[in-house]
Amino acid sequence: MASESGPHIPGPADFFLPPIVGSGDWALTKVSLLVLLSVVIVLGFFYAASRKAAVVPSRLQFAGEYVYGMVRNSIARDIIGSHDYMRFVPYLFTVFTFILVNNFYGIIPLIQFPTMSHIGYTAALAAITWLIYNIVGIAKHGFGGYFKHQTVPSGVSGPILIMMVPLEFLSNIIVRPFTLAIRLFATMFAGHLLVALFSIGGAWLILHYAPAWQGVTAGLFSFLLGILVSFLDMLIMFLQAYVFTLLSAMYIAGAIADEH
């Protein structure tokens, strides 16, 4: 039988970490420190990868060129098109690498906290994407032309537009940043919560459950599930960085396209 006091059950409160320095809204927490560190990591890695660039690349240079080439060619050029894509590569490359590093914090020992599980950061990134694709769309088509471009489907006319225009406006202008932010936040939040649940539950079962052999068996099984979830989470961490960047490119492409 279990002991009277059960294990701590991970929940949303565990994602609000105590401040390291200061207090209130401007306090420096582990999360904000990791976000700042991610900028240093990305800049340091690509500086080191490109500092001694050669025709025959080193392993570090090859890794850096591979990541850049994937974002540049497989996302920016293929989605936005060969005519306009280069001016958006810096943003797409930055947002991909930034999200990737912050996601992978979740599997690094002693850190083990994906900062994108805080919706404030995903909302900020989604807002930047929203501003970019709306600004470049208005710059190309004009305000009225862009509004028509985003809300009036090609080939549709007549009374059906009374229904379609509000739906298209809601889908293309209002909903997109929310779905971008929530998708990334929810997957990182859920993945970290599952790993924490299996880890804490496994430790409690091993240390406190009676009879001991049942607790150890169940605890080890819980740890095994936690490890499997961690490997699955690694794939999701990469995919979410890729999907966020891909959707950003798609929204930009749709905003500057000649036809809706």
Specify if 2 maps to a domain: no
Number of CB atoms found within 10 A of residue 25's CB: 5
The number of folded domains in the chain is 1
Specify if 6 maps to a domain: no
- Residue 25 has what pLDDT? 67
Specify if 165 maps to a domain: yes
One digit per residue, the tens of pLDDT, for the chain of length 260 reads 455 556 667 777 767 777 777 676 677 888 899 999 999 999 999 998 888 877 777 888 889 999 999 999 999 999 998 888 999 999 999 999 999 999 999 888 888 889 999 999 999 999 999 999 999 999 999 998 998 888 887 777 777 778 888 888 998 899 999 999 999 999 999 888 888 888 888 888 888 777 887 878 888 888 888 888 888 989 999 999 999 999 999 999 999 987 64
Specify if 3 maps to a domain: no
Specify if 8 maps to a domain: no
Specify if 192 maps to a domain: yes
DSSP for residue 142 = -
Specify if 156 maps to a domain: yes
DSSP for residue 20 = E
Pairwise CA distance, residues 14 & 118, whole Å: 11
* Start-to-end CA span in the chain (Å): 64
* SS3 of the chain: helix, strand, coil, percent, to 5: 80, 0, 20
- Residue 1 has what pLDDT? 47
What is the signed CA dihedral for 127, 128, 133, 138, rounded to 10 degrees?
90
Write the CB contacts of 244 (distance below 8 Å, at least 6 apart in sequence). Answer: 95, 96, 99, 125, 180, 183, 184
Specify if 1 maps to a domain: no
Q: Which domain holds residue 151?
A: 14-256
Contact assessment for residue 181 and residue 123, using Cβ atoms and an 8 Å cutoff: yes
pTM of the predicted protein model: 0.88
Is the dihedral angle over the CA atoms 16, 19, 22, 27 positive or is it negative?
negative
Write the burial class of residue 84 (CB in 10 Å: 0-12 exposed, 13-18 middle, 19+ buried).
middle
